[in-house]
Amino acid sequence: MRVAIVTNSDFNGVINRFGQPRPQQQQPYPQRGTLEEMVAGLQGSGHETLVCEGDKALLATLERFMPPDPHARPSGIVFNLAEGIQGQKREIHVPAILEMAGIPYTGCSPLGMGLTCDKVITKMLIRDQGVPTPNFRVMGRGTESACDLRFPVIVKPRHEGGSLGLQLIHEHSELRQAVEVTVAQYAQDALVEEYIEGREICVALLGNGELEVLPLVEQDFGDRETRLMDWDAKYVAAAGVPKICPA
């Protein structure tokens, strides 16, 4: 099978610079070593691979790599790792393009991606289904009332991923500045939610219909004072948190 791995490592493939920019501190994903391992794994399984950018040239690139058969049926699949270049809900751009062009791909649909990229909407939806989620407030200035929240609280951008901009705030007096920093740096509201002490376990699901649950992976905080997966804990090797698998 032809498998195109779509990423965003070069952010220049746009017609205009317009709308919400990608945060400068957000690193390209996946990292080079991870991408090389993915390519090697796919090729080792007999697949023909191509790594390409999720930008304005994407459809032309895919049409050359995996042209449709005489009945206009797909001749390959996209392994989608693109996180977008700019604009609102930039993570949905590549899935939406692929939907329009009729190219199958891995990962969430544009709707699923759009909903989960909005942390507030996600929390409201899962709360409506009876799933516990920490109490929260949405703030744009930091002067909104937070008297019903239990400190410490987490402050983070409403629409970013990867723990980007995450802050742990212990005192009410620190909250306004934390919110203002988030709003100024990311040009979006801040989500303020109660910090929950406890174990952190990642659950990976594989499949479309009947899902396969992969082995659970637990973050091993050991004797760390703060049990929190911030940006450094996720992406800076020296600050990394060991993992236990299975949990």
Binned at pLDDT 50, 70 and 90, residue 29 comes out as low
Residue 194 has pLDDT above 90, yes or no: yes
User: How high is the mean pLDDT of the chain?
Assistant: 91
Q: How far apart, in Å, are the Cα atoms of 80 and each of 35, 87, 191, 236?
A: 12, 18, 27, 24
Q: Can you tell me the distance from the alpha carbon of 140 to that of 158, in angstroms, rounded to the nearest whole number?
A: 10
**Does residue 28 surpass a pLDDT of 70?**
no
Note the CATH number of domain 118-194.
Answer: 3.30.1490.20
Phi, psi of 168 (to 5 degrees): -105, 120
Please report, for the chain, the start and end positions of each structural domain, with discontinuous segments joined by +.
2-115, 118-194, 201-244
Q: Which of the four pLDDT bands, split at 50, 70 and 90, describes residue 177?
A: very high
**Pair 162, 170: CB distance under 8 Å:** no
pLDDT of residue 27: 61
Q: What is the pLDDT of residue 100?
A: 95
Q: Which two tokens stand for residue 246?
A: 């299975």
Q: How far apart are CA 186 and CA 168, in angstroms?
A: 17
Distance from C-alpha of 39 to C-alpha of 4, rounded to nearest angstrom: 10
User: Please, which residues bridge with residue 206 across strands?
Assistant: 212
pLDDT band at 94 (very low <50, low <70, confident <90, very high): very high
Coil, helix or strand for 190? strand
What per-residue confidence (pLDDT) applies to 20?
79
